Amino acid sequence: MGEITENVRAILKELPEEIVLVAATKTRSAEEIQEAVEAGIRVIGENYVQEAGLKFQTLGKRVKWHMLGHLQRNKADKALEIFDCIETVDNVRLAKEINRVAGKKNSIFPVLLEINSGREAQKSGVLPENAAQLLYNISRLQNMRVEGLMTMGPLVDTPEDIRPYLRLTKELFETLKGQNLPNTELKYLSMGMSGTWRIAVEEGANVIRIGTEIFGKRG
């Protein structure tokens, strides 16, 4: 049994079964991803459309694909051919472009709103206090459905330090859930990565994104 297989099985064994495990596969080879899929991974997450496209040729729709990186509007067409969900919508212009492309395909495309829970200037994501307005604006678009929130949170010295940012996002999730907007069904809360996912689960995450703990350190 390979190391990747062992890692995936160990995480899945520990994880409550209602929680979605997204394998974060940026820079990982198709062979590594293949091993993870055979071990039980059902969703993979990529940061770049072009890199995902190359891996998609090998893996196709045997797995679900989540976009974890910031999507440029001019890549929306290609992204919707590959991905099943974009977790990183943080502005109306991007939402409108996804909606336009989904409309051409006559489909309703699922997205998550990315929350900049650490209010970091260098990171994408909508600020928590602007999330309600963004959700309201996006809920008017007919060819997409907002299915939840996602946050990265800041880099922390110890895993415990991430807890306030996850808690803030969970509280926002519950607040927005009560708004009953059209084209909105808030059911996914994507938080936590290698090192912080256990705390994220404690704080209410039901989607976690793990790279290093599955594949080992890069390079």
> Does 117 have pLDDT greater than 70?
yes
Q: How far apart are the C-alpha atoms of 175 and 186, rounded to whole Å? A: 10
CATH dotted code for 3-215: 3.20.20.10
**Mind listing the pLDDT tens digit for each residue in 175-219?**
999 998 999 999 999 999 999 999 999 999 999 999 999 999 876
Instruction: Determine the average pLDDT of the residues in 74-88.
Output: 98
Write out pLDDT tens, residues 33-75: 999 999 999 999 999 999 999 999 999 999 999 999 999 999 9
Cα–Cα distance between 7 and 214 in angstroms, integer?
A: 5
At 11 the pLDDT is: 98
Determine the pLDDT at residue 97.
98
- Tell me how far apart the alpha carbons of residues 137 and 133 are, in angstroms, rounded to a whole number: 6
Q: What is the CA radius of gyration of the chain?
A: 17
- Domain positions in the chain are 3-215
